[in-house]
Amino acid sequence: MAKWFNAGLIIATIAFASCNEKQHETSATIGTTKKEWGEVDGKQVYLYTLANKAGDVVTISNYGGTITSWVSPDKSGNKNSIIIGFDSLSSYRQDPPYFGALIGRYGNRIGKAQFTLNGTTYKLAANNGPNSLHGGIQGFDKVVWAAGVPDSAQPSLTLKYVSKDGEEGYPGNLDVTVVYTLTDDNGLKIEYTATTDKPTPVNLTNHSYFNLTGNVKNTILDHYLQIDADKYTPVDSTLIPTGELKEVKGTPFDFTTAKKIGQDFNSVPGGYDHNFVLNRKDASLQKVAALSDSVSGRTLEVYTTEPGLQFYTGNFLDGKFTNHDGNPLLIHTALCMETQHFPDSPNKPDFPSTILQPGQTYHSVTEYKLSVEK
């Protein structure tokens, strides 16, 4: 068995605190602990709890690599989760729209569910109108990942998945590793690496939905958002980029200085679901966005090495699912900031390439950093 399996695992008692009718972990012994959480396709699924010195607690399952909650104190010291989600595996098996999950092999859409690479056309599953979304019918969000706790000074979790040649129509065996780390200064860091044995598109992300108030009775329209992007990629009626990189200046897409998400909302039919072209000179880890909310006093900064950020305002949430806090997840009650390469890049030669070649290593880092006003 690989060395990283279970090395440094701290067995600890997890304290539970009541949160309306539901329960989820709000405090735990510092380190990483795990508990059995059910089975999928005969494979054991676990729920891991990462707790840091500052008292933040993040729970992650090896089913879909899903972050199920991130509990932190608000400005009054009340603890609740800024990530929406559920307490049971069975809820995640009812196909919620990617809540908290790892997305792959290709985050966001590939137009007409196909692309041509080195003269061969690859057909993907069309699971979103004519397009392929978030890796296909059984993307990385719906598989059981091998999990282990690395020997690390900070609470962390390593997940591994081998996506077979031909899976969901993609070429090449893709070996993927994702490491989640909860830092002592309340950063949730996600580090992705992957290798392949045939050229293939790769675009990995995490699909957490945030509501900084921790209470989905509040929509996210009063949150303030700043995105360091002078341009975005406009889309057609099926949400595929037209190929243009459009200036945000003078449009509802201008988040270059912090603005209330609801401010220009009426001018964006359906709500925001767009890829922002991040201002960057190189691929270093850089602060690209900041989300804040005055109810909780919380701020969430986003750092990434990626060139794009999909800002999605939960436009398709319809009340079918119920959050940890017992409230239905209605439209615009949560938002996503998915760090990524641009949608449909395999069909857009002018976009930064998403093709991974054999012998290369895909490497991408994103960190969500949480703070609260005192």
Among 197, 316, 319, 373, binds ligand GLA (CB under 6 A): 316
Contacts of 87 (CB under 8 A, 6+ apart): 22, 23, 24, 68, 324
Q: How far apart are the first and last CA of the chain?
A: 46
**Minimum CB separation from ligand GLA for residue 243, in Å?**
17
Candidate ranges 31-39, 137-145, 255-263, 308-316; the one touching ligand GLA (CB under 6 A): 308-316
**Minimum CB separation from ligand GLA for residue 174, in Å?**
21
Nearer to ligand GLA, 31 or 65 (CB): 65
- Give yes or no for a contact between 308 and 340, defined as CB atoms under 8 angstroms apart: yes
- Does residue 25 carry a catalytic annotation? no
Among 85, 97, 172, 307, binds ligand GLA (CB under 6 A): 97
Cα–chain center distance at 314: 13
Number of H helices and number of E strands within the chain? Answer: 1, 30
Nearer to ligand GLA, 31 or 97 (CB): 97
336 makes contact with ligand GLA (CB under 6 A): yes
Task: Please give the backbone phi and psi of residue 200, each rounded to the nearest 5 degrees, phi first.
Answer: -155, 150
Candidate ranges 8-16, 185-193, 246-254, 310-318; the one touching ligand GLA (CB under 6 A): 310-318
227 makes contact with ligand GLA (CB under 6 A): no
Among 33, 68, 108, 215, binds ligand GLA (CB under 6 A): 108
Q: Total binding residues for ligand GLA by CB under 6 A?
A: 11
The Cα-based distances of 256 to 224, 228, 273 in angstroms read: 12, 5, 17
Q: Which of residues 134-173 bind ligand GLA (CB under 6 A)?
A: none
Cα–chain center distance at 21: 26
312 makes contact with ligand GLA (CB under 6 A): yes
**Minimum CB separation from ligand GLA for residue 240, in Å?**
11
**Minimum CB separation from ligand GLA for residue 275, in Å?**
8
Helix/strand/coil for 233: strand
Q: How far apart are CA 186 and CA 169, in angstroms?
A: 38
Q: Are strands 43-51 and 57-61 parallel, antiparallel or unpaired?
A: antiparallel
**With 0-12 CB in 10 A as exposed, 13-18 as middle and 19+ as buried, what is 5?**
middle
Nearer to ligand GLA, 56 or 338 (CB): 338
Nearer to ligand GLA, 140 or 312 (CB): 312
241 makes contact with ligand GLA (CB under 6 A): no
- Does residue 338 carry a catalytic annotation? yes
Of the residues 24, 134, 167, 207, only one is catalytic, namely 207
Half-sphere exposure of 111 (CA within 13 A, CB side): 17
- Give yes or no for a contact between 72 and 299, defined as CB atoms under 8 angstroms apart: no
**Minimum CB separation from ligand GLA for residue 329, in Å?**
11
Nearer to ligand GLA, 235 or 258 (CB): 235
Of the residues 324, 338, 341, 367, only one is catalytic, namely 338
- Give yes or no for a contact between 112 and 131, defined as CB atoms under 8 angstroms apart: yes
Question: 172 is written with which tokens?
Answer: 């090449």
Nearer to ligand GLA, 160 or 207 (CB): 207
Which residues in this chain contact ligand GLA in the complex, by CB under 6 A?
A: 97-98, 108, 133, 239, 273, 310, 312, 316, 336, 338
Active-site annotation, residues: 207, 338
